[in-house]
Amino acid sequence: MTDLPLTTTTASDRARDIRAAVESRLKIRHASERRFKLYGQLAIAIALGFLVLLLGRIVTQGASTFVVHSISVQVPLDPARIDQTELEGVNYDLMVADAVLAKLGEKDDDYGSKSEAIKDLMSPDFGFQLLNMIKADASLIGKTVTVSGPLRANADLYFKGEIKRASPEEERTLTNQQLDWLDALKSSGVITTGFNIGFFTKSDSTEPEQAGVLGAVVGSAMMLLVTAFLAVPIGVMAAVYLEEFAPKNRWTDVIEVNINNLAAVPSIVYGLLGLGLFINTLGVPRSSPLLGGLVLALMALPTVIIATRSSLKAVPPSIREAAFGVGASRTQAVFHHVLPLAMPGVMTGSILALAHALGETAPLLMIGMVSFVPGVPTGFDQAATVLPVQVFIWENASERAFHERTAAAIMVLLVFMILMNAVAIIVRRRFERRW
Amino acid sequence: MLTWIAILILAALSTVAFLVGRRKALASAGGSSAKMHSLPGYYGTYVALWVGVPAALLLFVSIMLGGRLEHGLLTATEPPVLQQLSSEQKELFFEDAQALAEGRQLSEAIYEPDVKLALEAKANEARVYSNAFRQGTFALMGVLVLAGFLWTFPRLNKDFRARNRVEGWVDGLLLACSIVAVITTLGIILSLVWESLRFFSSVPPADFLLGTHWSPQIGMRDDQVGSSGGFGALPLFAGTFLVMLIAMCVAGPVGLFSAIYLSEYAGPKARAVFKPLLEILAGVPTVVYGFFAALTVGPIFRQAFNSLGGLFLGGPLNELGLYLGQVQNQMALVAGFVMGIMLIPFVSSLSDDIINSVPQALRDGSYAMGATKSETVKKVVLPAALPGIAGAFLLAISRAVGETMIVTMAAGLQAKLTLNPLETVTTVTVQIVTLLTGDQEFDSPKTLAAFGLGLTLFAVTLVLNIVALRIVQKYREQYD
């Protein structure tokens, strides 16, 4: 206010003072408004910046996996070198190596060092291909057959620029001679570049060039199926009971504390539960999608319950009262009116809970899913591996070629996650309601 | 195969029961549903439930217990030739007998001819048991179906309170589902406590909780140096706390402000773009964050600190420069930071939902009084949403405490009692993984220590949660 004696202030003066005070305060208030909004925008920008960085790194590290360098070789099946009485014992790899050497116009030396060097560039799968061909049709012996497939991981890495000719020879896994051969084969068109279909049609392998994600994808799908069929119905029904039916007494308080508590239980504790209860007491087969699904269902259950409860809570009581008013019973009011209105929230919550379960790794490490499973799981009680655990296994592998595959497996995993999230978002966007 | 046929038959019988029940009730009202107590479908459902559910439950129980019961009967009498075998061989013998009876793959054990004969005899016995058991189950199922039908069908008429009965079934089902959660908790507590008791019988709880020396590797022989191992978990708790604190410093502000922006400022279009993008971040599995922390953030942070240290060298802060110069990839800061990124969408999505559920009328009232948006948020919306937001933060904290993959890949294994974020630390969860993915000898204190740690982790989250519920109750406000 002013220092002037009260007697000299007129009404209009006072009004002006108040106005000035309000306006100066308004400036401050608007500045703080803008600041507050900026904090919000900044927070979003930071979060999205991390998202871009994270995904960008994964994509740049993993993209090279989808390109593969393959070779196609005509191998003469010399009858003199194939002992028909013991097909398994024949050195097919050497036959392939000799065929490649012949293509390069070189001859193996007496110690076989050149063919050894060639073998290092070829996947051992070629030998198995020859063996299977001869087993299927013995008349092929004496003829020339074609085998094709990916190069060994080291050679593949050279073409992808991971192994550089400029680095000193003793620090690389490939010699200068091997690099010369590779270049020669490449320029003569024997080595071709193509899309790596094998990554999607093969399962885990000890050889990086033969390793794929099919087994892990199938394992994940099976496990998630078990989880979804257990966690979603049980969770939704439990939430409906607690929110709409349960009398408010000591018992339901216990259940409520319990569920909130379960949501806060770290996932790794569910792994301990799986180990102690499901494996040691109930005898559920180790490493199986059934076991993994059970553990993850228990883990996802509280999340589903909480999501369902909060969307049930968001439905205003007037809906229930209106239903009661026209003579519906409590069950009818809930199942005909409240639950359908809460369904978008329930679906969103359930899908997110399942997406989280799909990416869960820690509890699965405890229940033996880290084992090496080279095939596609054939049943819910058979040993299986799942995508996130596959990522963990490959991340720990010593071969360098597995590292790009780790990032590629992450990309596959993320595609599934994004699909699930997209579904959740579509559900939310189409049906979300503000009361 | 037979089980599937039984399920199909049961489903068919229930459908038939539904149809005849519905028809009878309608007929008793002269075909007019208006004169009936309940809608016609309820009468049918009531009969179908009594026909189908008890038999289905029996089938389920018999599948769960059947194998065990047969095993018990089978092992009750031992053929005399088994006396020469060890107890493990006997166990294998009985397993193989059951496998032979069911046509499964046998184990690789090699049996003497006389034992082989006994094996086949036992397999035949097992077949007899399982056939008898299966036939008994099916017969009992038939009795239950018939009893259910006879119990309900004659009572159906237009005044029968079918809807209330069916709703009784629904209530029971719902209650059973919510009890699953309690059973899960009991299972967790029992399995944790059981194994932990065995652990604490060899390591006193006080040494475990307050000891500062953690080295669970136990020597092969009793007389070896350091064979007792060190089970003082204090460094693990400190590491866990440190990583959690760093994570919350990142996730708390960023997550909450994102939520406020999305729910109060962003228009429908921006919200439709940003919210799904944030949720992609939430959908990213922790193992991916671990990969990101170990291969991207770790090296970046190390280089940043190393070059920062280079600036201090030779100056008054020479010591600090030297220290920063030798910082490693694996440090608490990297793990905590990446964990914070992971928790941003978790905090923001939960807070967003909660802020959204604050009634619009409260905001409108505040705007009508002349408050700006930020004032409304700070003075009206946030206080109203506080319990929910406290809950969200709490869930984020407990997730940080229990998070495993990021710390396994980025924090390290060295147990150090420090609050320096640039040091390598280890956490409770990392140690559980390390202890249990190695050799699986179930009796050694080393593996049992994992359960002790698990119990501690569980107890801590329990306390955290109870505190949170207190806060929620204190601030809870009722709308409508």
CB contact under 8 A, B265 and A37: yes
CATH architecture of residue range(s) B210-475: Orthogonal Bundle (1.10)
Residues A80 and A46 both lie in one domain? no
CA dist A276 and B431 (Å) reads 18
CB contact under 8 A, A40 and B394: no
Judged by DSSP in three states, A251 sits in: helix
Closest partner CB to B285 (pick from A273, A365, A413): A413
B276/A contact by beta carbon, under 8 A: yes
B457/A contact by beta carbon, under 8 A: yes
**In-domain check, residue A420:** yes
B403/A contact by beta carbon, under 8 A: yes
Tokens of B312: 């201090």
Q: Which residue has the higher pLDDT, B103 or B205?
A: B205
Residues A253 and A345 both lie in one domain? yes
Q: What was the pLDDT predicted at B438?
A: 57
**In-domain check, residue A362:** yes
Surface of B (354-373) touching A: CB under 8 A: 356-357, 359-360, 372-373
- Under 8 Å between Cβ of A188 and A176: no
**In-domain check, residue A208:** no
* Single-letter amino acid code for the residue at B114: D
Poorest-pLDDT segment among A96-100, B248-252, B405-409: A96-100
Residues A398 and A286 both lie in one domain? yes
Q: Which residues of chain A have a CB within 8 Å of the CB of B394?
A: 264
**In-domain check, residue A209:** no
**In-domain check, residue A289:** yes
B172/A contact by beta carbon, under 8 A: no
CA dist A268 and A361 (Å) reads 9
B192/A contact by beta carbon, under 8 A: yes
Nearest to A177, CA basis, from A115, A103, A110: A115
CB contact under 8 A, B177 and A238: yes
Boundary residue ending a domain (A63, A84, A104): A63
Q: Which residues of chain A have a CB within 8 Å of the CB of B373?
A: 33, 36-37
CB contact under 8 A, B288 and A391: yes
- Under 8 Å between Cβ of A275 and A366: yes
Q: Spell out the domain ranges in chain B.
A: 2-160, 210-475
Residues A81 and A111 both lie in one domain? yes
Give the DSSP H or E segment for A15.
helix A11-62
Q: What was the pLDDT predicted at A338?
A: 92
Q: CB neighbours (10 Å) of residue B103?
A: 7
Boundary residue ending a domain (A202, A224, A249): A202
Q: Write phi, then psi, for A52 (nearest 5 degrees).
A: -65, -45
CA dist A414 and A396 (Å) reads 20
Under the banding of pLDDT at 50, 70 and 90, the label for residue A333 is very high
Residues A101 and A148 both lie in one domain? yes
Lookup result for tokens 């007019």: B32
Closest partner CB to B461 (pick from A35, A42, A266): A266
B461/A contact by beta carbon, under 8 A: yes
Residues A113 and A159 both lie in one domain? yes
CB contact under 8 A, A237 and B178: yes
Residues A143 and A81 both lie in one domain? yes
Residues A155 and A233 both lie in one domain? no
**In-domain check, residue A124:** yes
Under the banding of pLDDT at 50, 70 and 90, the label for residue B74 is confident
| C-alpha distances in Å from residue B31, one per residue of A411, B26, B41, B159, B164 | 61, 5, 13, 14, 21
Closest partner CB to A366 (pick from B175, B436, B466): B436
Could you report the per-residue pLDDT of B346-381, keeping only the tens digit for each?
A: 888 878 877 887 888 889 999 999 888 888 988 888
Q: Write phi, then psi, for B456 (nearest 5 degrees).
A: -60, -45
Q: What is the mean pLDDT of chain A?
A: 84
| C-alpha distances in Å from residue A231, one per residue of A210, A238, B250 | 36, 10, 32
Q: What was the pLDDT predicted at A39?
A: 92
CB contact under 8 A, B260 and A276: no
CATH of the domain at A406: 1.10.3720.10
Number of domains in chain A: 3
Domain hosting residue A410, numbered range: 214-431
CA dist A92 and B306 (Å) reads 53
**In-domain check, residue A388:** yes
Q: What was the pLDDT predicted at A240?
A: 92
Q: Which residues of chain A have a CB within 8 Å of the CB of B300?
A: none
| C-alpha distances in Å from residue B445, one per residue of A422, B189, B430 | 46, 19, 17
Q: Which residue has the higher pLDDT, B380 or B440?
A: B380
Closest partner CB to B258 (pick from A47, A355, A434): A47
**In-domain check, residue A268:** yes
Q: Which residues pair with A193 in a beta bridge?
A: A69
CB contact under 8 A, A58 and B458: no
Residues A242 and A387 both lie in one domain? yes
Could you report the per-residue pLDDT of B91-143, keeping only the tens digit for each?
A: 778 878 877 777 777 777 777 777 778 888 888 888 888 888 888 999 999 99
Highest mean pLDDT among B167-171, B267-271, B386-390: B167-171
Boundary residue ending a domain (A202, A226, A256): A202
Residues A395 and A279 both lie in one domain? yes
Q: What was the pLDDT predicted at B11?
A: 94
Q: What percent of chain A has a predicted confidence (pLDDT) above 70?
A: 97
CB contact under 8 A, B359 and A435: yes
Instruction: Give the minimum alpha-carbon distance from A369 to chain B in angstroms, rounded to a whole number.
Output: 10
Nearest to A251, CA basis, from B179, B228, B109: B179
Under the banding of pLDDT at 50, 70 and 90, the label for residue A223 is very high
Residues A92 and A222 both lie in one domain? no
CA dist A65 and A199 (Å) reads 8
Q: Which residues of chain B have a CB within 8 Å of the CB of A331?
A: 167, 170-171
CB contact under 8 A, A266 and B457: yes
Could you report the per-residue pLDDT of B214-265, keeping only the tens digit for each?
A: 777 654 444 444 445 677 788 888 888 999 999 999 998 999 999 999 888 8
Poorest-pLDDT segment among A31-35, A142-146, A406-410: A142-146
Residues A122 and A183 both lie in one domain? yes
Q: Which residues of chain B have a CB within 8 Å of the CB of A33?
A: 372-375
CB contact under 8 A, A276 and B195: yes
Residue of chain B whose Cα is closest to the Cα of A416: B283
